[in-house]
Amino acid sequence: MIYLIYLIIFGFFLTALIGLFASWVDRKVTARVQYRVGPPVLQPLIDLVKLLGKETMVPKGASKFSFLAAPLLGLGSVILVSTILWFNCLNPQRTFIGDIIVVVYLLVLPSLSIIIGGFASANPLASIGSSREMKLVLSYELPFLLAILVPVIQGGFTLRLGEIITYQVQNGIILGSWSGFLAFLVILMCVQAKLALVPFDIPEAETEIVGGPLIEYSGTPLAVYKLMKNMLLFVLPFFIMILFMGGFRLSGAHWINGILKYLGLVALITVIRNTNPRVRIDQAMRFFWGPMTILAMMAVFLALKGL
Amino acid sequence: MSITLKALLKSPWVFHLSTGSCNNCDIEILDCLTPRFDVERFGMLLAGSIRHADVLLVTGSANRKCIPRIKQVYQQMPKPCVVVAIGECSLSRGMFIHSYNCPLPVDKIIPVDVYIPGCPPKPEAIIAGVVKLIEKLSAKPEKK
């Protein structure tokens, strides 16, 4: 029963609210960087309500079931991930062994749902976007997993997020150590690619393949995808916070600290997004399999040495 | 006024269709998105795909090759939607009124909600036209 409450209140409502707010922060910071005023606070919510009221069109020749089911698959996995993360933050003792593996698997599903949706929509541009997304997933997963190994090793070879959090409460945050810092840089780049933001927005390059996999979506499925992306904008920085920055605690003044950490991460991601050009897919692949993997391996060795 | 229409008026995503214009109107439309005018303040975004759009901005004197495409794009747009004709050419075909290649003005091809005259219209005129459109839709909710 308590899990259901966590699923509905923390996993869905709170995450959706914070995610919508984060996407407003993203748009506002972007506007300020470009010397514009930017949209009002409620804009992401208004966009969502508007999309829910629009007509849903299924293109001719599309596979109707996978076209309409793919967004729900992505949204469901994001809700599950955020439930696990919130539960770990609020009750670090009552978690199961191996939840970090579950989280890593579930974090692939949003990308997978975009790939399925793109291929199901029977549009050449969507297919190009989906195949790019697939290559991007293949390229960033390796450094992502290596970077996650660092907190696992530092926390005493544990596979429970709760133990990583308690380790950081006792011994200081992992970001403070050399290996933690290197792994943090790597995971930040991987999160940028997972969110499909600008240096790595190759799958949905607006000016090139007009939105990629989402090109044929309209109405409610598009709203679900937007909500999924907004929630990912909360879930992935939150995951980084748990692994490297000591998570989010409600006791005492720690909650202000947690909010500041989160907003700082979102602002960092937005600034990276606004100060970089889009790279090509082969450049992105070389970047992730070359420098990023080497950096992540160095971080793992340093962590094994205890630095 | 229903909540979805209210939301539609607060976040109109525009799709921009050039039907053989000289590019002046298109440049003026893009001007509205620049820091000087910044229509993202009102939630307007330029949508890349017609499936995401709520407002169809038509520029140019619809020529023979374009007419079936205009109809197709209009049918592909998800339905609570509005059409805005921008520039003298799309209003009345402008200087191409006697041309063999421009048989119909845009509003004989698809229903047009707002006409913004000018050759090209200033960004201020485009924003004023959109404000008139919002006023019109707020007064008559069951228009579309």
pLDDT digits (tens, 9 = 90+) for A152-188: 888 888 888 888 888 888 887 888 788 888 899 999 9
Interface of A with B (CB under 8 A): 27, 31, 34-40, 43, 46-47, 49-50, 52-57, 206-207, 210-211, 214-219, 222
pLDDT at A34 over 50: yes
Q: How far apart are CA B51 and CA A126, in angstroms?
A: 13
Buried b (16+ CB within 10 A) or exposed e, A257-272: ebeebbeebbeebbeb
Cβ–Cβ below 8 Å for A55 and B78: yes
Q: Stretch B46-67: mean pLDDT, rounded? A: 87
Is the separation of the CB atoms in A197 and A230 below 8 Å?
no
At residue B144, the pLDDT reads 46
Confidence of residue B140 (pLDDT cuts 50, 70, 90): low
Please write the tens of the pLDDT for every residue from A236-267. Answer: 998 988 888 877 777 767 778 888 888 888 88
Confidence of residue A276 (pLDDT cuts 50, 70, 90): confident
What separation, in Å, do the N-terminal and C-terminal C-alpha atoms of chain A show? 42
Q: What is the mean pLDDT of chain B?
A: 84
Q: How far apart are CA A21 and CA A29, in angstroms?
A: 12
Q: Which residue of B has its CA nearest to A43?
A: B43
Query: B102 phi and psi, to 5 degrees?
Result: -120, 80
Show residues of chain A in contact with B52, CB under 8 Å: 211, 214, 217-218, 222
Name which of A175-189, A194-208, B18-32, B81-95 the model is least confident about: A194-208
Cβ–Cβ below 8 Å for A47 and B11: yes
Q: Which residue of A has its CA nearest to B53?
A: A218
Cβ–Cβ below 8 Å for B52 and A31: no
Interface A–B counts its CB contacts (< 8 A) at 81
Cβ–Cβ below 8 Å for B48 and A210: yes
Other CB atoms within a 10 A radius of the CB of residue B40 amount to 21
Q: Which residue of A has its CA nearest to B33?
A: A36
pLDDT at A69 over 70: yes
Q: How far apart are CA B45 and CA B53, in angstroms?
A: 9
Q: Which two tokens stand for residue B82?
A: 């509005």
Confidence of residue B142 (pLDDT cuts 50, 70, 90): low
What number of CA atoms fall less than 13 Å from residue A154's CA on the CB side?
Answer: 36
Cβ–Cβ below 8 Å for A57 and B51: yes
Is the separation of the CB atoms in A23 and A233 below 8 Å?
yes
At residue B1, the pLDDT reads 64
At residue A2, the pLDDT reads 75
Residue B82: beta bridge partners?
B55
Q: Stretch B25-51: mean pLDDT, rounded? A: 85
| Minimal CA separation from A142 to chain B, in Å | 32
Show residues of chain B in contact with A30, CB under 8 Å: none
Cβ–Cβ below 8 Å for A50 and B7: yes
At residue A143, the pLDDT reads 92
Residue of A12, A85, A106 lying closest to A240 (CA atoms): A85
| Minimal CA separation from A115 to chain B, in Å | 18
Cβ–Cβ below 8 Å for B7 and A53: yes
- Whether the ipTM is more than 0.95: the answer is no
Class of domain B15-143: alpha beta
Which residue has tokens 């549009």? A123
Q: How far apart are CA B24 and CA A132, in angstroms?
A: 35
Q: How far apart are CA A80 and CA A231, in angstroms?
A: 11
At residue A144, the pLDDT reads 92
Q: Which residue of B has its CA nearest to A39?
A: B41
**Omega prior to B120 cis, within 30 of 0:** yes
**Which of A37, A206, A219 has the CB atom closest to B48's CB atom?**
A206
**Which of B11, B51, B76 has the CB atom closest to A46's CB atom?**
B11
Q: Which residue of B has its CA nearest to A33?
A: B35
Cβ–Cβ below 8 Å for A215 and B51: yes
Q: Stretch B13-26: mean pLDDT, rounded? A: 87
Q: Stretch A14-22: mean pLDDT, rounded? A: 89
At residue A294, the pLDDT reads 92
Is the separation of the CB atoms in B120 and B24 below 8 Å?
yes
Cβ–Cβ below 8 Å for B4 and A43: no
Q: How many residues would you count in chain B? A: 144
Confidence of residue B38 (pLDDT cuts 50, 70, 90): confident
pLDDT at B139 over 80: no
Query: A245 phi and psi, to 5 degrees?
Result: -120, 20
To the nearest 10 degrees (0 to 180), the angle between helices A124-154 and A293-305 is 10
What number of CA atoms fall less than 13 Å from residue A167's CA on the CB side?
Answer: 21
Cβ–Cβ below 8 Å for B4 and A49: yes
Report the percentage of chain B scoring pLDDT > 70. Answer: 96
Q: Which residue of B has its CA nearest to A204?
A: B48
Boundaries of domain holding A189: 2-305
Strands B55-59 and B82-86: parallel
Q: What is the mean pLDDT of chain A?
A: 86
At residue A54, the pLDDT reads 85
| Minimal CA separation from A36 to chain B, in Å | 5
What's the CA angle centered on A119, arms B78 and A205, to 5 degrees?
A: 70
Number of domains in chain A: 1
Q: How far apart are CA A258 and CA A248, in angstroms?
A: 5
Is the separation of the CB atoms in B64 and B103 below 8 Å?
yes
Q: How far apart are CA A78 and CA A89, in angstroms?
A: 17
pLDDT at B118 over 50: yes
pLDDT at A299 over 60: yes
